[in-house]
A = this chain, B = another copy of it.
Amino acid sequence: MAKLSDKENTKVPIGNTAGVATGRVQGNLVVLPAEYAADFLLFCARNTSACPLIGVTDVGNPLVPSLGRDIDLRFSVPKYRVWENGKLVSEPSDVADLWRNDLVGFVIGCSFTFEHALLADGIPLRHIEQGTNVAMFRTKIQTEPAGIFRGPVVVSMRPFQPRHLIRAIQITSRFPMMHGAPLHVGKPELIGINDLAQPDYGDAVDILDDELPMFWACGVTPQAAIAEAKIPFAITHAPGCMLVTERENREYAIL
């Protein structure tokens, strides 16, 4: 961690980063051997809601200067996942020892980024109130395949009162690079989610009688594709434990 600046806003949080570093863009991480990079770029190009790319490294280089002077993909994520042949093998807090000269890092916008704009508008977010990770689910919606990558779209879920739900659609539509507008609302069974109390990633949150669940495409989607592709080696962030960049949310807002 010695490589990191000690500036407050670039400190690496300990656990999940929901509600952390207010105002800073957060990103999902995918690190792959270069031989899979072209397929993955195509996968992102074909699935822009789930995988809006906000940064790509040069081969072997863990730095992403466009996202911040101090961003080093070996250290800047609070918890990583290491994948071998599509299986999750460890969750280290840095990947310095695993870094290789053939790796390419991809950073994908994260919905935690627009949560600041929702909170600033007076819209409460249950998982932040409860101090937990957001709930994420695999759906029956399929990504558009690209090369070896295919699999389900993963979504994050947040419950809202109807008036907040309408406003949340307006606000998140302004952040297309952070997954933008939701892709589903209400009726989770229509997208293959049968139990909101059993998320596939993150933590369950309460949904009150006057609330509806709303779903955004999620940057954990590539992890499902990595598992399905069974590629020999990959690194990702652990769901909810995001790369906190030095870019500001407002830089990614349209309109």
Contact = CB atoms under 8 A, between A and B. Distances in A.
Interface of A: 162-163, 165-166, 169-170, 173, 181-187, 190, 210, 212, 255
Contact of A183 (B163, B184, B190): B163
Contacts of A163: 183-184
B187 A212 contact: yes
A212 B186 contact: yes
9 contacts: A162-B185, A163-B184, A166-B181, A166-B182, A166-B183, A169-B169, A185-B185, A186-B186, A255-B255
Given A170-B170, A170-B173, A165 B181 contact: no
A124 to B, nearest CB: 17
B162 A190 contact: yes
A184 B162 contact: yes
- How many copies the complex holds: the figure is 2
Contacts of A169: 166, 169-170
Contact of A181 (B170, B181, B183, B255): B170
Contact of A187 (B162, B166, B181, B190): B162
A169 B173 CA distance: 10
A210 B189 CA distance: 9
Contact of A210 (B182, B183, B190): B190
Nearest to A165: B185
A127 B211 CA distance: 27
Given A170-B181, A185-B212, A190-B210, 5 more contacts: A162-B185, A166-B169, A166-B183, A169-B170, A186-B186
A83 to B, nearest CB: 31
A184 B187 CA distance: 16
A166 B183 CA distance: 7
Contacts of A187: 162, 210, 212
Contacts of A212: 185-187, 212
Contacts of A210: 187, 190
- Which 5 A-B pairs rank lowest in CB-CB distance, beginning with the nearest? A169-B169, A162-B185, A162-B184, A186-B212, A170-B173
